[in-house]
Chains A and B, each alone.
Chain A
Amino acid sequence: MHGRVKVKSTAQQEEEKRKEREKKLKAFVSARDAVLRKRSAGEHDEEALQLTQQLLSSNPDFATLWNYRREVLLQLETSREKDEVQKLYESELHFIEACLKVNPKSYGCWHHRSWVNTRLPQPDWTRELGLCDRCLSLDERNFHCWDYRRVVVKESGVSVEQELQFTDRLIGSNFSNYSSWHYRSTLLPQLHPQPAPDSASNTSPSPTASPQIHSHRVCEEQLLKEYELAHNAFFTDPNDQSAWFYYRWLLGRAEREEMISCVYVSRERERVSVAFSKPVHAQSEGLMLVLDGQPQQVEWRSTHPRLRHSPVWLCDLPPGSVSDISNEHNLTVHWTEKYTHRDCALYTGCAESWCRDSATDQELFRSELSVEKSSVLQAELQSCNQLLELEPQNKWCLLTIILLMRALDPLGHEKETLAHFQTLKEVDPMRSSYYSDLCSKFLIENTILKMEYAEVRVFSLSNKNLTTLCHLDQLLLVTHINLSSNQLLRLPPQFAMLQCLEVLEADDNAIESLEGLYHLPKLEEVSLRNNQICKLSDLESLASCTKLTRLDLRGNPVHKTANIDSELSQLLPLVTALSL
Chain B
Amino acid sequence: MGTQVKDVIIKPDAPNTLLLDKHADYIAAYGSKKDDYEYTLSEYLRMSGIYWGLTVMDLMGQLSRMNREEIIEFIKSCQHDCGGISASIGHDPHLLYTLSAVQILSLYDSINVIDVEKVVDYVKGLQQEDGSFAGDKWGEIDTRFSFCAVATLALLGKLDEINMDKAVEFVLSCMNFDGGFGCRPDSESHAGQIYCCTGFLSITGQLHKVNADLLGWWLCERQLPSGGLNGRPEKLPDVCYSWWVLASLKIIGRIHWIDKAKLRSFILACQDEETGGFADRPGDMVSSLWSPSYKSLHMHKYFACCFTRSCHSSKRAYRSLQYILTSVLYFHPGGSFPHSVWCGWSVFAGR
Chain A interfacial positions (CB closer than 8 Å to B):
1-9, 13-14, 17, 21-22, 24-25, 28-29, 36, 59, 61-64, 66-67, 70, 107, 111, 115, 141, 143, 146-147, 150, 175-176, 178-179, 182-183, 185-186, 211-214, 216, 237-242, 245-246, 249, 252, 278-279, 308-309, 429-434, 437-438, 441
Contacts and interface: CB of A to CB of B under 8 A. Distances in A.
B36 to A, nearest CB: 8
A241 B234 contact: yes
Q: Interface majority SS on A: helix, strand, loop or mixed?
A: helix
Given A213-B175, A437-B257, A5 B3 contact: no
A435 B41 CA distance: 45
Given A5-B284, A143-B190, A433-B257, A178 B234 contact: yes
A186 B235 CA distance: 22
B218 interface: yes
Q: Interface majority SS on B: helix, strand, loop or mixed?
A: loop
A216 B177 contact: yes
A61 B297 CA distance: 11
A532 B187 CA distance: 45
Interface stretch (B15-23, B62-70, B86-94, B116-124): B86-94
Contacts of B1: 237
Interface stretch (B98-106, B286-294, B315-323): B286-294
Contacts of B289: 7, 9, 13-14, 17
A5 B280 contact: no
Contacts of A150: 186
A127 B48 CA distance: 37
B40 A2 contact: no
A308 B205 contact: yes
Given A14-B289, A22-B35, 12 more contacts: A6-B285, A21-B37, A25-B37, A62-B43, A64-B86, A64-B90, A143-B182, A176-B234, A185-B177, A212-B209, A431-B223, A438-B213
A437 B232 CA distance: 23
Nearest to A181: B177
B205 A429 contact: no
27 contacts: A4-B284, A4-B285, A5-B287, A6-B285, A14-B289, A28-B37, A36-B90, A62-B43, A62-B44, A63-B94, A64-B92, A107-B142, A115-B138, A115-B139, A141-B232, A179-B188, A211-B169, A213-B209, A237-B2, A245-B233, A430-B258, A430-B259, A431-B221, A431-B259, A433-B256, A434-B220, A434-B257
Interface in B275-331: 280, 283-291, 294, 297
B189 interface: yes
A273 B36 CA distance: 66
A431 B185 CA distance: 30
Nearest to A308: B205
- The bracket for how many chain B residues form the interface is 35 or more
A6 B286 contact: yes
Contacts of B173: 214
Contacts of A216: 176-177
Contacts of A214: 172-175, 185
Nearest to A391: B2
Interface in B17-54: 35-37, 40-41, 43-45
A61 B91 CA distance: 12
A8 B288 contact: yes
Contacts of A3: 280, 284
B183 interface: yes
B250 interface: no
Contacts of A308: 205
Given A59-B41, A238-B2, A431-B220, A143 B287 contact: no
Contacts of B183: 143, 147
A432 B138 CA distance: 47
A13 B187 CA distance: 46
A430 B261 CA distance: 10
Contacts of B217: 434, 438
A141 B223 CA distance: 19
Nearest to A310: B208
A71 to B, nearest CB: 10
B73 interface: no
B3 A239 contact: yes
A178 B188 contact: yes
A85 B21 CA distance: 57
Contacts of B182: 143, 147
B140 interface: yes
A391 B217 CA distance: 22
Contact of A67 (B35, B92, B168): B92
A131 B41 CA distance: 29
A212 B217 CA distance: 23
A309 B208 contact: yes
Nearest to B141: A111
Contact of A64 (B91, B214, B256): B91
Contact of B223 (A13, A21, A25, A430): A430
B234 A146 contact: no
Nearest to A430: B259
Contacts of B259: 429-432
A4 B286 contact: yes
Given A25-B40, A238-B2, A111 B138 contact: yes
Contact of B176 (A182, A433, A441): A182
Query: Across chains A and B, which 10 residue pairs bring their CB atoms closest together, nearest first?
Result: A6-B285, A185-B177, A430-B259, A279-B208, A176-B234, A434-B257, A249-B177, A309-B208, A175-B3, A111-B140
Contacts of A1: 286, 294, 297
B285 A5 contact: yes
B331 to A, nearest CB: 14
B41 A6 contact: no
B82 interface: no
A14 B288 CA distance: 8
Nearest to B280: A2
A176 B234 CA distance: 6
A177 to B, nearest CB: 8
Contacts of B258: 430
A391 to B, nearest CB: 9
Nearest to A431: B220
A473 B232 CA distance: 33
Contacts of A21: 37, 290-291
Nearest to B263: A430
Contact of A430 (B2, B136, B262): B262
B161 interface: no
Contacts of B9: none
Contacts of A429: 259
B284 A245 contact: no
A245 B178 contact: yes
Contacts of A111: 138, 140
Contacts of B237: none
Interface string B230-257: 0011110000000000000000001011
A438 B256 CA distance: 13
B47 to A, nearest CB: 12
B159 to A, nearest CB: 15
Contacts of B138: 66-67, 70, 111, 115
Nearest to A23: B37
A148 to B, nearest CB: 11
Residue from A22, A147, A242 having most chain B Cβ neighbours under 10 A: A147
Contact of A146 (B37, B175, B188, B235): B188
B210 to A, nearest CB: 10
Interface in B127-177: 136, 138-140, 142, 168-169, 172-177
Nearest to A107: B140
Contacts of A185: 176-177
B197 to A, nearest CB: 13
Given A213-B172, A308-B205, A431 B257 contact: yes
Contacts of B90: 36, 64
B341 to A, nearest CB: 21
Contacts of B139: 115
Contacts of B344: none
Nearest to A1: B294
A310 to B, nearest CB: 8
